[in-house]
A and B are shown apart, each in its own frame.
Chain A
Amino acid sequence: DAGITQSPRHKVTETGTPVTLRCHQTENHRYMYWYRQDPGHGLRLIHYSYGVKDTDKGEVSDGYSVSRSKTEDFLLTLESATSSQTSVYFCAISGTQGLGAFFGQGTRLTVV
């Protein structure tokens, strides 16, 4: 397995609370991605990063923010969690543009 660790693996939180998910890599890869996966929607890109402090929005970025202050860490923050953000969140990394990405184990987030 590629050296990717997501934390936490499971989380239950209340509506309106802030939540931060962490993705940590040991591969020194340039590109990092956050996806969410929901039944009937496949994998949808939330945000991605192409270097330290370089990030951009994906197709479902509303309600989410990210930060990347070090090559190895990419944080996803839900500023005020809503029930629609209940999902499985995957982090992925890629070393070179145009090559495939490798995924972490996923975080199952439930907002009640």
Chain B
Amino acid sequence: QKEVEQNSGPLSVPEGAIASLNCTYSDRVSQSFFWYRQYSGKSPELIMSIYSNGDKEDGRFTAQLNKASQYVSLLIRDSQPSDSATYLCAVNDQGAQKLVFGQGTRLTINP
């Protein structure tokens, strides 16, 4: 069973600080990695994608990928209360053409 693992949290971060979310995956051939944000009672929303080793920045969000260590992370700079949500890591299982999700990390930004 190919797995994606996340710490379920909750992770509590003060407003203005950096929130760091981590994800590990078991399938070495995975090529595509994604972060979704899900507010309570809403559907998941794609916020970041990353395909190669290193960092990818988009506004206050930075995704980091290390394929050798099989982990993906998401950094949120200058955290805002509106960032409070569950963050889901997803990995593309290329062999079977499907997207596998971790359990999600619940993030709370405290004013």
> Interface on A for B, CB 8 Å cutoff?
31, 33, 35, 40-45, 48, 50, 56, 58-59, 90, 92, 94, 97-106
Interface CB pairs A-B, < 8 A, 21 = A40-B8, A41-B103, A42-B88, A42-B102, A43-B44, A43-B104, A45-B100, A48-B98, A50-B97, A59-B1, A90-B43, A92-B99, A98-B32, A98-B51, A99-B32, A100-B32, A100-B49, A101-B99, A102-B46, A103-B44, A103-B45
> Interface on B for A, CB 8 Å cutoff?
1, 8, 31-32, 34, 36, 43-46, 49, 51, 88, 90, 92, 94, 96-104
Given known contacts A90-B44, A99-B32, A100-B46, A56 and B96 CB-to-CB distance under 8 angstroms: yes
CB <8 Å contact, A97 and B101: no
CB <8 Å contact, A103 and B43: yes
CB <8 Å contact, B46 and A42: no
Select A45's contact among B36, B45, B99, beta carbons within 8 Å.
B99
Give the distance in Å from the alpha carbon of A99 to the alpha carbon of B1 in the complex.
22
Give the distance in Å from the alpha carbon of A104 to the alpha carbon of B45 in the complex.
10
